[in-house]
Amino acid sequence: MSDATTTPRSRRQARGRYGRVSQVVTEIDERLGVARGGRTFLDKIFPDHWSFMLGEIVLYSFVVLLVTGVFLSLYYVPSATVVTYHGSYLPLDGMPMSQAYASTVNLSFAVRAGLLMRQMHHWAADIFIGSMVVHMARVFFTGAFRKPRELNWTIGVTLLTLAIVNGFLGYSLPDDLVSGTGIRIAYSILLSIPVIGTYLAFWIFGGNFPGTVILERFFILHVLIVPLLMLGLVGAHLALLVRQKHTQFPGEGRREDNVVGSPMFPVFMAKTTGFLLIVAGVIALLGGLAQINPIWQFGPYEASRISYAVQPDWYMGFLDGALRIFPSWSFHSFGHTIPLEVTIPAVVLPGLLFGLAYAWPALERRVTKDNAMHHLLDRPSDRPRRTAAGAAVLALLATLFVASSTDVIANFFHVSLNTVLWTMRVLVLVSPFVAYPIAYRIAKEMHALHGAGRRKTPNVVTRTGEGEYRAEPAPAFADDAEVPLAPTPVPDFIAEEQPAPPPRGTRTTDR
Amino acid sequence: MRATWVLVGAVGLAALSPLRALSVAGAATHPIYQTGRHDAGTPNSDVVTRSHGHITSYGDSAITYSAPPSALKALGYALYLENCATCHGTQANGVPVAGTSGAYPNLVGLGPATIDFWIESGRMPSADPRSVQAPRRPPRLNHRQALAIAAWINSLDPSYPYIPTVHLRGGNVATGMALFALNCAACHTIEGDGDALARSTFAPSLRNIPATQVAEAIRTGPGNMPRFTGNLSDYQVRDIVKFVTTEIQHPRNPGGFGLGGLGPVAEGFVALLLGVAFLALIAFWVGERQ
């Protein structure tokens, strides 16, 4: 078979530097033409600033959510069918409960690593939405949402909404006493919507609360429909990020028309893979060491039972807080009841907040009349009014979150629950108006401060022969000087031929 | 309907009145001090023991209720005068609260279980008789002294329930959990940690309470707590007590650190401070800082 003139070595040399890998890749490229796109992708420049990695926490906790979620879905049974539990957790032995709850208890006690997976899933969800909020705050305070990136901001707000909805759906699935109470509250919130509320609630629950189908419906929404939407939107979010390229903070060599940073391969890829493992590791540590949502202590849900001190997960906390502290106003007339004490805090308030988030880029364009393209970021102190507005909304949300634990606060500090309630009512109304001027002043002061946000240069103190001390600023660091960068150009392995102008009347497209 | 609103308005005004908050009458008429003769736990039981014509104990295989030994009566009276008579009066019928129309509770006819519960849980003698709710404290009187005082008060007008002894051996934890979720969790929380109720009252934690006191509280309804008599049998009370003294007080609790049983609020803080903030710090460490 082998020719006398070819040796293994000569054949290897004929295959080139990357051997068979190169051969396989070439074969693929000749058929699919992936090399050019792949090259562009591998050369994508990522700014190195740490705040750009906040979004990666979101992405990687999403990955953990998908992986652990698949594991959980193998054992969870979304059914309200009543079964009698006989398992290793004795306090529930012989008790009638829904199959959903029984399977979740079994998953926690009888499935190897089941509890770890459940806790990781829950912690990952909490971290997912938490880092989403932090990432959103970064984008907001630095003005990264400005033209041309309004669409990506809109996708991001939609992702946050979907994440909160899916978090609530997942929290509801175990059908324990606490989550059942949560579903009941959600049902009441639906009912409180004027005109369509009752129809909507009956449509979603397939009849009156609790019905028999809600767990199946929540399950398929939680594991298929909402995640699929989110995956698509995450894809669009990232594709837009590649298409529109990154924003960057102003600095040496950084202009509106370039991006300074590290290429996807190898620098960013190594960094981000490490970060993926760190995020997964932190979530696994939390899942293994810190208990979350011990449903076996709560018992199965029955409409006649309720536990005190029930709160939703933290990202729903602002809604719960608003519901708790809102005065009991309602409207009865013309044979209809509109429970304003539910409609306003649980429907109108989140509607306004998310509406504001969606509308913000347009609002800001209208107010500032700034319709230019922006690829260089603001520092928060550059835009005191935007920073102050963001701080006011965050302060409102934070006080509403605290208001969701009025009972915990009252019990912990031994004060009257009524005092806490009234204090929170006042604080919720006051906090945005306190936060706004404070943030505004700080931003103004920082902006006026010379050299704020830049590296400090030391003083050189010398002593003269007469014993006099003299302080002079040290010369600037070499890398602080404003010199344009001369970065290594992106290698151009694929030489493109300029196509000839097409003849009139015909259209061609490049292969 | 209209009358209801008037009533609601009146109650609201009364609740808002600063006078009420300051006056001792407010405290003295607070539900916590409302007392009445206990008709609960009347011997209708499988086993009744009598001595000289008096019932000394009654009950069934779940709970035995025993009277405090009447031999301790004399000691009880001495202790009573020393520790209780200032507020409850020398004849245990309560004295008026100075400057108000209210009075401290009448103890006659309350039954030994009530007296034993308040003394042995350290709530009485109270350090602050005018407080809205007496907190659980290390008891000032020991078990024998509590029995003695109960014996003396019971001798004024013998009444029930007697002091329960719960036979936990036959109890069913699962039934206990179901009954607990139905009857107790609405105030004490399903994890038994207790929580704040309206107007400075609170449902206390059940984490460290002996079986007898749990049964006494269920049967006598101290303070704001409802008195569970007809709707819970001795067997059901035993199941609840068994659940509280085993699964609530020594929960089988895998999954790592319990975060104080505070639920999603604590979990949220951990997720944001340990999770998100820690990961952001790592990003800060890995990324460029300028």
Domain boundaries, chain A: 8-42, 49-315
Nearest by CB: A298 against B176, B190, B269? B190
B256 interface with A at CB cutoff 8 Å: yes
How long, in residues, is chain B?
A: 290
Instruction: Compute how many other C-beta atoms are within 10 angstroms of the C-beta atom of residue B158.
Output: 15
| Pick from B254, B262, B286: CB nearest A271 | B286
Q: Which helix (H) or strand (E) holds A390?
A: helix A384-403
Of A175, A297, A330, which to mutate for an interface test with B (greatest number of B Cβ within 10 Å)? A297
| Domains (range + CATH), chain B | 24-253 (1.10.760.10)
Largest CA-CA distance found in chain B, in angstroms, rounded: 92
- What does the alpha-carbon distance between residue B25 and residue B213 come to, in Å, rounded to a whole number? 29
CB-CB under 8 Å, B193 with A91? no
Round to whole Å and give the CA distance between A488 and A450.
33
| pTM assigned to the model | 0.82
| Contact check, Cβ <8 Å, A51/B200 | no
Dihedral angle at the C-alpha atoms of A412, A415, A419, A423, nearest 10 degrees?
-50
pLDDT of residue A13: 75
- The B residues from 188 to 217 touching A (CB cutoff 8 Å) are 188-191, 193-200, 202-203
Least confident of A7-16, A475-484, B129-138, B243-252: A475-484
Cα distance from B176 to chain A (closest Cα, Å)?
Answer: 8
> Tokens representing A30?
């000749």
What is the rounded radius of gyration, in angstroms, for the C-alpha atoms of chain A? 29
In b/e form, how buried is each residue of A270-281, taking b as 16+ CB within 10 angstroms? ebbeebbebbbe
Nearest to B247 among A47, A91, A308 (CB): A91
Handedness of CA B108, B114, B115, B116 (dihedral sign): positive
**Residue range B244-268: mean pLDDT, rounded:** 80
Q: Which residues of A touch B178 (CB under 8 A)?
A: 95, 299
- Rounded CA gap, B168 and B166, in Å? 6
Residue of A nearest to B264 (CA): A313
What would the pLDDT profile of B94-126 be if each residue is shown by its tens digit? 888 877 777 888 888 888 999 999 999 999 888
Nearest C-alpha of chain B: how many angstroms from A476? Answer: 16
Rounded to whole angstroms, the Cα distance separating A24 from A398 reads: 55
Q: What is the pLDDT of residues B36-50, one digit of tens each?
A: 444 444 555 667 777
Contacts A293 to B, Cβ<8 Å: 264, 267
pLDDT digits (tens, 9 = 90+) for A72-102: 999 999 999 999 999 888 888 888 999 999 9
Tokens linked to A212: 């028999």
Tell me the C-alpha distance between A494 and A34, whole Å: 12
Are the C-beta atoms of residues A272 and A60 closer than 8 Å to each other? no
Q: Residue B34's pLDDT is what?
A: 40
Of A53, A130, A401, the CB nearest to B283: A53
Q: What is the pLDDT of residues B175-196, one digit of tens each?
A: 999 899 999 998 998 888 888 8
User: Is A227 within 8 Å of A73 (Cβ atoms)?
Assistant: no
Cβ-defined contact of A411 to B202 (cutoff 8 Å): yes
Q: Is B221 on the interface with A (CB under 8 A)?
A: no
Which residues from A are below 8 Å from B249, CB to CB? Answer: none
Phi then psi for residue B166, to 5 deg, are -90, 125
Q: Is B289 on the interface with A (CB under 8 A)?
A: yes
| CB contacts, 8 Å: A274 with chain B | 286
Tell me how many residue pairs between chain A and chain B have CB atoms under 8 A apart. 211
Instruction: Count, in order, helices (H) and strands (E) of chain B.
Output: 13, 6
pLDDT digits (tens, 9 = 90+) for B68-100: 998 998 999 999 999 998 889 888 888 888 777
Topology classification of domain A49-315: Cytochrome Bc1 Complex; Chain C (1.20.810)
B238: its two tokens: 């035993």
Predicted local confidence at residue A326, as pLDDT: 94
Note the ipTM here: 0.82
Q: Which helix (H) or strand (E) holds B203?
A: strand B202-203
Copy the structure tokens of residue A16: 């080139």
CA A312 and chain centroid, separation: 18
Cβ contacts of B263 on chain A, cutoff 8 Å: 178, 309-311, 408
Q: Which of B247, B262, B271 sits opposite A408 (nearest CB)?
A: B262
Q: In DSSP terms, which residues pair with B162 in a beta bridge?
A: none
What pLDDT does residue B13 have? 43
> Are A306 and B173 an interchain contact pair (Cβ–Cβ within 8 Å)?
no
Q: In chain B, which residue's Cα lies nearest the Cα of A418? A: B199
pLDDT at B41: 47
CA distance A221 to chain B (A): 23
Burial (0-12, 13-18, 19+ Cβ within 10 Å), A479: exposed
Whole-angstrom distance, CA of residue A360 vs CA of residue B152: 75
Residues A291, B181: C-beta atoms closer than 8 Å: no
Beta-bridged to residue B288, according to DSSP, are A49
- Cβ distance of A289 and B256 shorter than 8 Å: yes
Nearest by CB: B196 against A49, A89, A417: A417
Question: Does B255 sit within 8 Å of A411, measured CB to CB?
Answer: no
- Alpha carbon distance A246, A237 (integer Å): 12
Indicate yes or no: CB of A290 within 8 angstroms of CB of B270: yes
**What does the block give as tokens for A325?**
């502290």
Interface residue B290 vs chain A (CB under 8 A): yes
Q: Could you say which of B189, B275, B283 has the minimum Cβ distance to residue A286?
A: B275
> Within the 10-39 window of chain B, which residues sit less than 8 Å (CB to CB) from chain A?
none
Q: Do B257 and A289 touch (CB under 8 A)?
A: yes
Question: Any idea which residue has 């101290």 for tokens?
Answer: B222
Overall residue count recorded for chain A in this entry: 511
Residue from B245, B236, B186 nearest B214 by CA: B245
Residues of chain A with Cβ-Cβ distance to B247 below 8 Å are 91, 297
Q: What is the mean pLDDT of chain B?
A: 80
CA-closest candidate to residue A453, choices A380, A505, A400 = A380
Beta-carbon separation of B195 and A411 below 8 A: yes
| Chain B residues close to A51, C-beta within 8 Å | 283, 287
Whether B263 and chain A come into contact, CB under 8 Å, resolves to yes
Q: What is the mean pLDDT of each run of 10 residues along chain A (511 residues)?
A: 68 74 85 83 88 94 96 95 90 90 94 95 96 96 94 97 96 92 92 92 92 93 97 96 89 82 88 95 94 90 82 91 92 84 94 96 94 91 94 96 88 88 96 97 84 67 88 69 58 54 63 60
Nearest CA in chain A to B15: A418
- Chain B residues with CB under 8 Å of A283 CB are 275
Instruction: Flag if A131 and B190 touch (Cβ within 8 Å).
Output: no
As a whole number of angstroms, the distance between CA B254 and CA A74 comes to 22
Q: Which residue has the higher pLDDT, B27 or A508?
A: A508
CB contact under 8 A, A291 and B253: yes
**Could you tell me which residues come within 8 angstroms of residue A170 by beta carbon, excluding any fewer than 6 positions away?**
A121, A125, A222
Task: Say if the Cβ atoms of A51 and B283 lie within 8 Å.
Answer: yes
- DSSP structure string for A166-184: HHHHHHHTT-BHHHHHHHH
pLDDT at B10: 45
Mind telling me how many Å the CA of B40 is from chain A's nearest CA? 25
Of the candidates B251, B258, B271, which has its C-beta nearest A127's C-beta? B271
Which of A57, A126, A305 lies nearest to residue B267, judging by beta carbons? A126
CA distances from B14 to B19, B20, B104, B262 (A): 9, 7, 21, 34
Name the residue among A95, A251, A411 with its Cβ closest to that of B174: A95
Q: Which of A416, A418, A424, A477 to mutate to test the interface with B (most CBs of B within 10 A)?
A: A416
Interface of B with A in 93-152 (CB under 8 A): none
